Amino acid sequence: MTFSCDEVHIEAMINALVRMVLEFVVLFVVYFWLLGQNTNLDTSWLFFATFYALSVFVVPVQVQYELAGKYAQRWLIAANPATHTHRGEINLWRILLPYSLPLAMIGATGLALFQVWFFTPTWLVIAVLAAASLLTVLPLVVLLNRKYLKPLYQSTVSPSANSPALKDNREEYYFTHHVFPWLPVTLITSILILYKMSEESLFSAGRLDILQSALFVGSTCYISCLWMCYESVSQTRVDLKLGRFKGNSEDSINSTELLFLIHLLVVAAVGITYILGYWLWPQGFSQLYLIIIGALLVCLCGAGANILGVTWACSTRQAQLNEDA
């Protein structure tokens, strides 16, 4: 098997387009409809700026891992069976960060100012967002094809004895490849949702009810946990398949335990939010502190879901190997 850049570029760009459209539609519906419509006019600039900033980080990473997962088995078949467990250290996030960070800052600021200063209608902002995303996300995807996916293919099919190895330290793998990269994404998303929710509650009720706020923090944590767990499972399966992470047979959980622990994290977040609100703001939450507390709890739950996802992926992989043996 050979690595055809043209075919991979086309597939990656189509994949990125589909992901951007689907994720935009879902988040648009959640933000502008499900969270309430009273403050849409005043906060829409925040949604579009944040969506762009997240897109230049999340979509290229998702595309790379999906393609790596899709082609991993073919690469291993093409590799020498005696060397296909080679583990090369190619950190996707470190490759992406120098390009995505300035693009996210400049693009998000530009979109926000464009809408605020010129009172631009929503349809025109969406058009500008689409154009900006196409001009930045698609080149990033192609760039990562060359800087990440192709070297990953080469290190799998023809590993070098001098290639750096990914350490077997699972704590380092958890935090370097999962928790720390996804933490900013979780933080920004939670702040966006919590701000819109609190604005809607203040508009309609004039205050932030403690129980309602606690339940909303819990629902945000729940969505974040499912999303972060899914991303970590997908990423870890690719790394395990390519031999880039060894895993640990000592730590294992089954599907029932995974779901129980995720729900336990969510219940804990609801309980902590309610208790803090009851003690400190009995007449109603402070908006600023609700956003801070809620975002912190969402990040902690997301990080926990990352670790659970990695552990569950390792467990299912080990179970599959035991069955094959």
pLDDT of residue 188: 94
pLDDT of residue 200: 93
Least confident of 7-11, 94-98, 121-125: 7-11
Kindly tell me if the per-residue pLDDT of 72 is higher than 90: no
Mean pLDDT over residues 169-181, rounded?
Answer: 84
pLDDT of residue 215: 94
Which tokens in the block code for residue 26? 């879902």
What percent of the chain clears pLDDT 70, i.e. is strictly above it? 86
What percent of the chain clears pLDDT 90, i.e. is strictly above it? 60
Decide: 280 and 289 in contact? Cβ < 8 Å.
yes
3-state helix, strand, coil in the chain (%, to 5): 80, 0, 20
Higher-pLDDT residue of 225 and 81 is: 225
CA torsion 211-212-215-221 (nearest 10°) is -120
Q: What are 249-302's pLDDT values in tens digits?
A: 667 899 999 999 999 999 999 999 999 999 988 888 889 999 999 999 999 999
SS3 state at 129: helix
Q: What are 77-110's pLDDT values in tens digits?
A: 555 544 444 445 678 888 999 999 999 999 999 9
92-118 vs 40-78: helix axis angle to the nearest 10? 160
pLDDT of residue 77: 59
Using alpha carbons, list the distances in angstroms from residue 116 to 47, 55, 197. Answer: 12, 21, 21
Using alpha carbons, list the distances in angstroms from residue 68 to 71, 126, 223, 239. Answer: 5, 31, 26, 9
pLDDT of residue 7: 77
Kindly tell me if the per-residue pLDDT of 158 is higher than 70: no
The band of 323, judged by pLDDT with boundaries at 50, 70 and 90, is low
Residues 6+ apart with CB under 8 A from 17: 138
Q: What are 21-63's pLDDT values in tens digits?
A: 999 999 999 999 999 999 998 899 999 999 999 999 999 999 9
